[in-house]
Amino acid sequence: MSRLESVIALTERLVSFDTESAKSNLDLIADVEAYLREQGVSFVRIPNAAGDKAALFATIGPHVEGGVLLSGHTDVVPVTGQAWSADPFKLRREGERLIGRGAVDMKGFDAVCLAMIPEFKAAALKRPIHILLSYDEETTCVGPIDAIRRFGHDLPQPGAVIVGEPTSMQVADAHKSVTTYTTHVRGFEVHSANLHTGVSAVHVACRLVCELERIGAALREEGDPSGRFDPPYSSIHVGVISGGTARNIVARDCAFNWEFRGLPQAPMHLAQQRLAAFVETLAPQFAAFPGTGVETITEAEVPGLAPQPGSGAEVLALRLARANRTISVPYASEAGRFQRGGTPAVICGPGRIDEAHQPDEFIEIAQLAACVDFMRGLVRELSA
**What pLDDT is stored for residue 306 in this prediction?**
96
- Is the pLDDT reported for residue 63 higher than 90? no
CATH 3.40.630.10 in the chain, residue ranges: 3-174+305-383
> Which pLDDT band holds residue 179 (cuts at 50, 70, 90)?
very high
pLDDT tens figures, 31-52:
999 999 999 999 999 999 999 9
Residue 65 has a pLDDT of 85
pLDDT, position 384: 83
CATH of domain 177-302: 3.30.70.360
| pLDDT of amino acid 300 | 94
What is the location of CATH 3.30.70.360 in the chain?
Answer: 177-302
pTM attached to this predicted model:
0.93
Which CATH fold topology does 3-174+305-383 show? Aminopeptidase (3.40.630)
pLDDT of residue 88: 98
Three-class HEC string of the chain: CCHHHHHHHHHHHHHCCCCECCCCCHHHHHHHHHHHHHHCCEEEEEECCCCCCEEEEEEECCCCCCCEEEEEECCECCCCCCCCCCCCCCCEEECCEEECCCHHHHHHHHHHHHHCHHHHHHCCCCCCEEEEEECCCCCCCCCCHHHHHHECCCECCCCEEEECCCCCCCCEEEECEEEEEEEEEECECCEHHHHHHCECHHHHHHHHHHHHHHHHHHHHHHCCCCCCCCCCCCEEEEEEEEECCCCCECCCEEEEEEEEEECCCCCCCHHHHHHHHHHHCCHHHHCCCCCCEEEEEEEEEECCECCCCCCHHHHHHHHHHCCCCCEECCCCCCHHHHHHCCCCEEECCCCCHHHCCCCCCEEEHHHHHHHHHHHHHHHHHHHC
